[in-house]
Amino acid sequence: MASLSRQLARWITGLKYEDLPPAVIDRAKGVTLHCLSSILIGSQTKPGRDAVKLMTDEEEGVKRGATILVSGQKVTKGGAAFANAEMAFSGGKWDTFRMLMHPGTSVPPAALAAAEEAGASGKEFITAVAAGYEVMERLAAEFIPTLAARGFHASPIFGVFGGAIAAAKIFKLDEDQMNSTIALCASLASGNVEGARSGGKALREGAAVRNSMLAVALARQGHVGGETVLEGDAGFYHAYVGNNQGKLTYSFTGDTHASLAKITANLGKDWIFLETLYRIYSISGYNIAHVDVTAKLCKDNDIRPENIDRIEAVVNWLETQYPSPAFAVRREDTNRQPGSTAYHLAYAAITRSFPMLGDWAPQSSRADDPPQVMELTNRVTIIPSPTMTLFGPRITIFTKDGKSHTLQGTGREFIWDFEEEVRRIRGIDPGLPIPIPQYEAVIETCRTLNRQPRADALVKLMLKK
| DSSP per residue, 385-421 | ETTSPTT--EEEEEETTS-EEEEE--S-TT---HHHH
From CA 159, how far away is CA 105, in angstroms rounded? 8
Q: What three-state secondary structure class fits 353?
A: coil
Q: What is the C-alpha to C-alpha distance for residues 195 and 189, in angstroms, rounded to an integer?
A: 17
CB atoms within 10 A of CB 203: 15
**CATH pick for 4-279+417-461 out of 2.60.40.10, 1.10.4100.10, 1.10.1060.10, 3.90.870.10:** 1.10.4100.10
Contact status, residue 166 vs residue 111, Cβ threshold 8 Å: yes
**Closest alpha carbon to 167 in 181, 157, 180:** 181
| Tens place of pLDDT per residue across the chain (465 aa) | 899 999 999 999 999 999 999 999 999 999 999 999 999 999 999 999 999 999 999 998 898 899 999 999 999 999 999 999 999 999 999 999 999 999 999 999 999 999 999 999 999 999 999 999 999 999 999 999 999 999 999 999 999 999 999 999 999 999 999 999 999 999 999 999 998 888 888 889 999 999 999 999 999 999 999 999 999 999 999 999 999 999 999 999 889 999 999 999 999 999 999 999 999 999 999 999 999 999 999 999 999 999 999 999 999 999 999 999 999 888 999 999 988 999 999 999 999 999 998 766 666 677 778 889 999 999 999 999 999 999 999 999 999 999 999 999 999 999 999 999 999 999 999 999 999 999 999 999 999 999 999 999 999 999 998
The pLDDT score that the predictor gives to residue 368 is 77
DSSP structure string for 254-273: S-SB--GGGGTTTTTTS-GG
CATH 1.10.4100.10 location in the chain: 4-279+417-461
Which is nearest to 51 in space by CA: 86, 10, 24? 86
- Give CA–CA dist 120/127, Å, rounded: 11
Task: Round the CA-based radius of gyration of the chain to a whole number and report it.
Answer: 22
Q: What is the pTM of this model?
A: 0.96
Best CA proximity match to 263, nearest among 130, 138, 101, 165: 138
Give the span between the Cα atoms of 26 and 131, in whole angstroms. 14
What stretch(es) of the chain map to CATH 3.30.1330? 285-408
As a 3-state breakdown, the chain gives helix, strand, coil percent values, each rounded to 5, of 50, 10, 40
Class of domain 285-408: alpha beta
Per-residue confidence (pLDDT) for residue 364, from 0 to 100: 66
* Distances 212 to 31, 80, 146, 219, 258 between C-alpha atoms, Å: 19, 12, 23, 11, 26
- Residue 274's Cβ-count burial label (10 Å; 0-12, 13-18, 19+) is middle
Q: Cβ–Cβ contacts within 10 Å for residue 275, how many?
A: 17
User: What is the longest distance spanned by two Cα atoms in the chain?
Assistant: 72
Q: What are phi and psi of 270, to 5 degrees?
A: -100, 115
Residues 337, 340, 345, 349, Cα dihedral to 10°? 40
